Chain A
């Protein structure tokens, strides 16, 4: 079984459109949407939820106003500004480390477990999708990603799947690291802009840091042939295989608006190129 993470560094380069198309093209696979902050794959795959699980992630301090005698030890020890001058917990600052609850001389602080989100196992027209929804303004996206990847690995092993296809989040921080740790290949989707190249380079560096092979796709390559050339030169210099160049294609926007994967539009030039990329990747 092979795990492929589709990722981009910079958001909005077309990563989810490409993952969605892979869902339609790959035969025996499990799909995972690891962009738990702002999951979008379900808008193309229309999952029917079969299993729903709570995700408990992290903790929050709760101060018992009766017991608290405002000695100030907690506020002085907290490095995140989690306790306000009037001894209220600042919910957007508290990182749930629990130090205050351990040092409070009056035992006035307890830690409350937070329900930080939900995750789902669903059926779609293209097979199983494991996805999640991180609670609004919640922390711990990395742990939620690891949780759903574990669930997907189990399902894939039980069903004899050949691939796990992971739609990753933007950036290079904790949810991204959790999305690519232990995968067999990362496919970086970029666009021909200087920002796209800058961000793709950082993700590729991250893949190298974790010793995971990376390949690249330039999406909407014809929007700026000059920068596409720069990206090609970059790939050559770094020895990164360029698996394909997807042309700008209005069908892609139409497909997103209609909530479909782009391969459902037979004449679409973008779909044709993505099909070629999948054929390359699959072996």
Chain B
């Protein structure tokens, strides 16, 4: 079973829910796919014993073979290559913008001169280890890199179908989120009861509906703001899985990198219950969809 935890808006408590769900379950596997800003390690404090680099193939031009025909610049859909044709005795030039390259391979495959070879460029790292009984994998995009899905895909290669996996997804509604939640059996959307929270929740719901992934909602800081998130969930038939009230003590524990369950052991039962409820919702077809 793969359960991903996402939110349209950042900072709603997504990592809190993901981390504590993993802590409450026995032998869960945790995957931090929020590779632009990975934070779960702050709370789980894993012992890491393996690190691997993530590369994407980017083109390198052999100017001795290149005829400056312009083909590669034309086929690259991401404008990662620009060909300057030679003129008046000046040799031409092929400019490569590696940070725009998606590593699709079109240029090297289609160059009529066989002048392009692919070289690996590092864009991030994946670290793995364990935090108590939880096995832990986390991806990290290098600062200055624009394209995070290859790092997310690499993290997800560690998924094992037999175990419960908790995925901490990035915020938003575009490519990185889709890459992270794709293939999940269930998605928990974390929100807060404010107009910002509601607006971004409704966008995230649209994403999951389009992807046909069943979902439910956790309302964090449930006693601030207004009642419109509750109304929305009721109207859209979306189950509310848990409500976490605002408290200075909870905020303080979070600030210092202490998980909810270690600070307030009562929450453990709530997370176990939530996991059971997800199972029933899926069986009965009553999850949000």
Residues B194 and A224 in contact, CB atoms below 8 Å apart = no
Known: A11-B9, A99-B104. A224 touches B171 (CB 8 A): no
Query: In the complex, what residues of B have CB within 8 A of residue A175's CB?
Result: 174
Contact B36 A97 (CB under 8 A): no
B147 touches A134 (CB 8 A): no
Chain B interface, >50% SS class: loop
A38 and B173 contacting across the interface, CB-CB below 8 Å:
yes
Q: Give Cα distance in the complex from A137 to B213, angstroms.
A: 13
Answer whether residue B141 sits at the interface, using C-beta atoms and an 8 A cutoff: yes
- In the bound complex, residues from chain B placing their C-beta under 8 Å from that of A227 are 255-256
CB pair A172 B178 closer than 8 Å? no
Query: Is A52 interfacial (CB-CB < 8 Å)?
Result: no
**Chain A residues with a Cβ closer than 8 Å to the other chain, count:** 61
Question: Are B11's CB and A174's CB within 8 A?
Answer: no
The stretch among A158-166, A194-202, A238-246, A274-282 that forms the contact with chain B is A194-202
B252 at the interface (CB under 8 A from A): yes
A97 touching B255, Cβ below 8 Å = no
Q: How far is the CA of A13 from the CA of B39 in the complex (A)?
A: 15
State in angstroms the CA–CA spacing of A38 and B176 once bound together: 13
Task: Mark the stretch among A26-34, A122-130, A253-261, A265-273 that contacts chain B.
Answer: A253-261
- Cβ of A79 and Cβ of B211 under 8 Å apart? no
Task: Decide if A226 is an interface residue (CB 8 Å cutoff).
Answer: yes
Within A150-200, the residues touching B (CB, 8 Å) are: 169-177, 191-195, 198-199
A95 CB-CB contact with B under 8 Å: yes
Residues of chain A having any CB pair with chain B under 8 Å? 8-13, 16, 37-38, 40, 43, 58-59, 77, 79-80, 92-93, 95-99, 102-103, 134, 136-139, 141-142, 169-177, 191-195, 198-199, 202, 205-206, 209-210, 223-224, 226-227, 253, 256-257, 259
Q: What would 6 A/B residue contacts be, using CB atoms closer than 8 Å?
A: A98-B77, A102-B110, A103-B110, A193-B254, A223-B252, A256-B194
In the A-B complex, the 9 residue pairs with the closest CB atoms: A11-B10, A12-B11, A97-B104, A171-B36, A37-B172, A174-B146, A224-B255, A193-B255, A11-B11
